[in-house]
Amino acid sequence: MLVGLSDQLARIMESVFEAYLGPDSVLASAVGQAVGSGEPEDIPRRNTDVWVLGKKYNAIQELELIRRDIQSRLWCTYRHGFSPLGEVQLTTDKGWGCMLRCGQMVLAQALIDLHLGRDWFWTPDCRDATYLKIVNRFEDVRNSFYSIHQIAQMGESQNKAVGEWLGPNTVAQILKKLVRFDDWSSLAIHVAMDSTVVLDDVYASCREGGSWKPLLLIIPLRLGITDINPLYVPALKRCLELDSSCGMIGGRPNQALYFLGYVDDEVLYLDPHTTQRTGAVAQKTAAAEQDYDETYHQKHAARLNFSAMDPSLAVCFLCKTSDSFESLLTQFKEEVLSLCSPALFEISQARAVDWDTTEDIDWPTMPDIDWPAGTSDSDSFAIVEESGRDSDAGCSGASGSGKKPSESAVI
């Protein structure tokens, strides 16, 4: 009897050990989860399509290609340690500059696509002269064309104090002015007001002496009051599928984000809410410059359900030629605007007579800013003392209301 009881107890103990230590055990599962937690959840592990700036990928078969594509975009984030900015002498944009950074990312994507092509991929060893010209333009020094200094100081001409949040429409208007000082970029920006693309205005911006100047078209939208109206989601998805897509400037309530693609019902984004040191890529000859270049690239995008997006956003498109713009208009009419009612935006040949527009604003010339001489990009930059990164969980602000473009308080 004792022998039988002993054998029965042994079998019970074996089953217990198997349950906790076997290949399909509780412990193995817990260990697997702990080990797996180090793997980012940027792209879902299922057989589905992933769209990144007009390119379609398979989530399982092309995972590393998706990550290479995302990593090749410029990731513009909060910085600290730059030269004092404004009357309050700010040396960081943490807590107020995330919408400005999203504007930088859209413009950087347009320049990369225009000058390097949509199929270009970045690598840590990249010293391509054209790439360096582009990234130098976003370094946070006073004489960089699209630095935080230039954007914030130009914002003052729209009665936005340095350190004050800017909405997507204001950032778009500022970038529109700044590109006019950058001959090398060879880019025109048109901001479509009141959710309407006015063709006469676009042609006036891009047709110079019979030739077409490449166009970055930015269309600010308000797609709800406090939450995005779900009827617009299919049209937003289609915008991200178009080969001319430069993504979207937007966010979730109180946080600005750069949307560059989607998977199923989730939008993919790069988040500027990481604070990094200020420095310089320059010509990327020194080890410190090579390391600093890597701070402009993020391999893993994050995901957000479309329903969680802030209703204030701007869709962005690059048209390199007149034909590509006409082709985009056809896609708008046949593939985007028909997906919801009311339509995502409107297209009009001419502007309404009483339409108020920022063209009527007496924009000042650039005061107290040291622009680079000519189109030279050989200026040297000082390396600021190195420090680590830290993340910023959120920003403050409040939402507006109405369907027309509005500056939602995301910074």
- DSSP string covering 358-394: GGGS-PPP-TT--PPSTT------PPPPP---EE---
Q: Among 204, 203, 200, 205, which Cα is nearest to 189's?
A: 205
Q: Among 179, 155, 169, 144, which Cα is nearest to 221's?
A: 169
Catalytic residue among 76, 98, 239, 319: 98
Residue 381 CA to residue 278 CA, distance in Å, equals 10
Active site annotation includes 49: no
Residue 250 CA to residue 312 CA, distance in Å, equals 6
Q: How far is CA 183 from CA 121, 349, 373, in A?
A: 25, 29, 12
With 0-12 / 13-18 / 19 or more C-beta atoms within 10 angstroms meaning exposed / middle / buried, residue 365 is exposed
Catalytic residue among 80, 115, 190, 273: 273
- Cα 224 to its chain centre, rounded Å, is 21
- DSSP string covering 201-270: HHHHHHEETTEEPPEEEEEEEE--SSS--GGGHHHHHHHHHSTTEEEEEEEETTEEEEEEEEETTEEEEE
**What is the DSSP secondary structure assignment for residue 333, as one 8-state letter?**
I
Active site annotation includes 297: no
Strand, coil or helix: 347: strand
Residue 76 CA to residue 84 CA, distance in Å, equals 19
Could you tell me the two tokens for 302?
Answer: 């994050």
- Cα 10 to its chain centre, rounded Å, is 61
Catalytic residue among 271, 293, 310, 340: 271
Could you tell me the two tokens for 257?
Answer: 């984000």
Assign residue 338 a region (left: φ > 0; alpha: ψ between -120 and 50; beta: otherwise): alpha
Q: Which helix (H) or strand (E) holds 313?
A: strand 312-319
Active site annotation includes 273: yes
Residue 167 CA to residue 157 CA, distance in Å, equals 15
Q: Which residues are catalytic?
A: 98, 271, 273
